[in-house]
Each structure stands twice: as structure tokens, then as C-alpha cells.
Amino acid sequence: MRFICALPTILLIVPFTLYANDSWPRWGGPNGNFRLTENRIADSWPETGPKELWRRDIGGGYTHIVAEAGTLYTAYKVEGHEVITAIAAADGKTVWEFKYPTEFTDGQVLQFGKGPNTPMLLHRGHLYMMSFDSQFLCLNAETGKPVWRKHLAEEMGAKILRFGAAAAPVVYQDMVMVLLGGDNHGAVGFDLKTGEVKWKSEIIPINYAAPALLKVGDVEQMVVAAKDEAVSFNLADGKILWRVPLVNPSSTHAAQPLFDGRDRLVLMSQKGAVARTYRLAPDGRSVSQISENNKFNVFYSNAILVGDTVYGANGKLLSAMDIRTGKMLWRERGYDRANLVQVGDKWIILTETGKLTLARLSPEKLEVLASREYLTKPAWSAPTILGNRLYMRDTKTMIALDLGT
């Protein structure tokens, strides 16, 4: 497999202000849950919408935008290659690009896109990215030069998924954890610096959802949406701790498990699945069901858990569910497979059709403060927020907005 070297460009420096949440290093942002406590966005928008700072062309794909130190990172598809790119947050100009060829295999479904799908991970000056065909790359975030790379299907027999790799990598201790699948693997931990394999789970079939890392009692574990179940692995030895059903007609799961930080875990999936909330035992080695709801479904967009309420988009419906009882609290139409970000007491909602909404969400209702169309379908990437600036993309365009007070 041939890799093309990084292509540096001249960068025009334009001063701008960064606030405490000046990084968005992973799927879910600084805290991994799409929740920002610092509120630096306005309570309303002008009739024409927030000020547009810049827009630029971008290629196909759905890779989430990550950011640090005034630089944005994403990836796109062009002419048989995926391109990882660094972009100046101030003006949208390219800092560097790294291009590499990708291939499709028989049985892959391309009608929904040819990748890349996977959210990138930015950690200690390195950028980690999984391609559509399961190439795993570690790049120097400043220069775009490769540090190490592996073709996981060719080298380790990783499963090539029908819709391409999509699960976000996560950091645990000195490892980056990814889902491999295939005949010999489940999840695998690679050394962050060298790419050496340091940890393996028991073998399971993998899926598209990002895994969740959590700790209950003294047990640190990884919860993974597998084929027709959710499985928890002990991070100490990779052994299975517990498993529960997670079923839909297509056996496809893209919604990340949600942990409340104490002992409750919400598992959900697309239409046809039952959303269930579980309580982990004090030792973390077993679970018991608290509630369920067969109408709260989330496909490839995100969901956010706040207290006892989970918010997420089901088809064209934005919904709120009480995880204690499984009761649907409210449902509102017009939010097609929306991604959400909570910013203080306000929420940003981006639908797959490109409608951007400023709102307040509560267990009682959805209160819309402002709304405007910006992107075109499919806008499947969740928005990224740094201070009072919002960055978002579809498969053709990337836009920066000023949401300031």
C-alpha cells in the first residue's frame, strides 16, 4: 500500500480568541459527551443567522472535526484517496494534507458514501485515524507526517464492515483502543507512540458505534455494541464481564453507549431496537435492567444524557426519554437524524439536511430560540464548538460561524 507524503502550504495567521474550551480532541468533545459547561454563545441570532466567518470546499465523507491550538482536523474522500487535512480555525486555509489510497471490497455498500466515516482522535500532538477500509494511521498533528500506520485487514485480518469502518478510537492509559473484529479479534489496544499491540479483548463481531470506557467499583471496562448484543470487557485482561441483548433487524448499531458517571448505562440503536437502561452492580461485573422503550431509537447521530433524561433524534423526531422509567417525555418533528451539542443552558442542533437550531432542551419541552439552513444533506458530522465559534461540514462544504454574545 503506497502512501503519499504530507503536502505543506503557506498559512496566513489571523489572530482570534480561544477560550477555556479551546480544544475538541475526540468524538464528543473535551469531555467525550458533547456537553460544554462553559456558555459563551448568544441567547438569540440575527434574522440572517450567526455571522459567517468563512466557508470552504471539502470532499466527501463524514469524519467529525477535531481541534486544538487553533487548528481543525478532518478527513475527506477525493479520486480514490482519503485525505486527512489540518485547517486554520481562524480563516479556513489549509495548513497541511496527507493523502493515501483506499480500496473497496466485494459486499461493501457504497450508496450512503465511500468514507471516511470514523471520527479522528487528537492526543498529545498525534492524530489517530481509521480509514474506510480499516487502515489505521498515526500522524504528527503539527506536520502531517506519518508516525506509524497499519493496514489492519491485511496485517491482522480485521473485519471490513459493509458501510466501512466508523467506530471512534478511544484512549486508555498509554494505548489507543480500536475495534478490529474478524476471526481473531474483538477490540485491540495499540501503543500510542509505536503502534505495538499491547492489549486484546476476547473475540466478538464488531459494529459501527464508538465504545464507552467506564469505571464502576474497582473495575475499568469497555462497553462495545457488537452484532446482536452489547458486551463489556474488563480492561485489565480483555475478558468479557457481562453481555446483554442489543438487537435490530439489520444487526447494525452506530449509537454509542451512554454512561451517567455512576452506575447507569443506556443502550440504544436504530429503528427496530429497544432502548434499555441498565444499572451496574457495585463491583461492575454484572448489570440489571432498569427500564426500556421501543420508540427511542438513534441511528448514526449522537445522543446526550443529562441527569435522568436522554435526548436524541429518531428519524425526523427529536425525543426526550426518562431513563428511570423508559417513558417518552416529548417528541418534536422536523429534526431529521440530528446531532446535538449542549453548551451551558443552550443546545445546538444540526439536522442531516443542514438545518442549524439554537434551543433549550429540558425534560418538559423543546424551546426553539433560532433556526437557519446552512448545509445540505447528508450533513452527518456532529458540529464542533470552540469558545463561541462553531465549525460544521457536510460532504461538500465546511463552515465557521460566530455564535458569540
- Asked if 329 and 364 touch (Cβ cutoff 8 Å), the reply is yes
- Asked if 148 and 192 count as a contact pair (C-beta separation under 8 A), the reply is no
Instruction: Give the per-residue pLDDT at 130.
Output: 95
The pLDDT tens digits of the residues spanning 294-318 come to: 999 998 889 999 999 999 998 889 9
Q: What is the pLDDT of residues 360-382, one digit of tens each?
A: 999 999 999 999 999 999 999 99
Measured CA to CA, the distance from residue 11 to residue 136 in angstroms comes to 28
32: number of Cβ within 10 Å: 18
Rg for the chain (alpha carbons), in Å?
Answer: 20
- Of the pLDDT bands very low, low, confident and very high (cuts 50, 70, 90), residue 13 is very low
- CA pseudo-torsion sign 387, 98, 212, 230: positive
Count of alpha carbons within 13 angstroms of residue 12, beta-carbon side: 5
C-alpha distance from residue 239 to each of 51, 182, 202, 234, 282 (Å): 51, 17, 6, 5, 18
Are the C-beta atoms of 364 and 332 separated by less than 8 Å?
no
Task: Inform me whether the pLDDT recorded for 29 exceeds 50.
Answer: yes
Question: Residue with C-alpha cell 464492515?
Answer: 161
| Percentage of residues of the chain with pLDDT beyond 70 | 95
Q: What is the per-residue pLDDT for 405?
A: 67
Q: Is the pLDDT of residue 48 over 80?
A: yes
Read off the pLDDT of residues 202-251 as tens digits, 9 standing for 90 and up: 999 999 899 999 999 999 999 999 989 999 999 999 999 999 999 998 88
Q: Which of 130, 122, 150 is nearest to 62 (CA)?
A: 130
Strands (E), 106-205: 121-123, 126-130, 135-140, 146-151, 170-172, 175-179, 187-191, 197-200
E strand or H helix at 78, and its extent? Answer: strand 71-78
| Amino acid identity, position 226 | A
List pLDDT tens digits, range 131-181: 999 999 999 999 999 999 999 999 999 888 888 888 999 999 999 999 999
Q: What's the chain's average pLDDT?
A: 92
Q: Is 11 helix (H, G, I), strand (E, B) or coil?
A: coil
Q: How far apart are CA 289 and CA 257, in angstroms?
A: 14
- Per the model's pLDDT, the better-predicted residue between 107 and 278 turns out to be 278
Q: Which residues of 173-198 are buried (b: 16+ CB within 10 A; e: fewer)?
A: eebbbbbbbbeebbbbbbebeebeeb
For the record, the C-alpha cell of 110 comes out as 457504497
269, 253 in Cβ contact below 8 A? yes
| pLDDT on residue 19 | 37
pLDDT for 293 equals 96
C-alpha cell at 379: 450533513
Q: Is the pLDDT of residue 287 over 90?
A: yes
- pLDDT, tens digit, 9 for 90 and up, residues 55-98: 999 999 999 999 999 999 999 999 889 999 999 999 999 999 99
Q: Which pLDDT value is given to residue 15? A: 31
How many whole angstroms separate alpha carbon 357 and alpha carbon 368? Answer: 7
Q: Which residue has the higher pLDDT, 344 or 16?
A: 344
Edge-first strand listing for the sheet containing 212-216: 212-216, 219-225, 229-234, 240-245
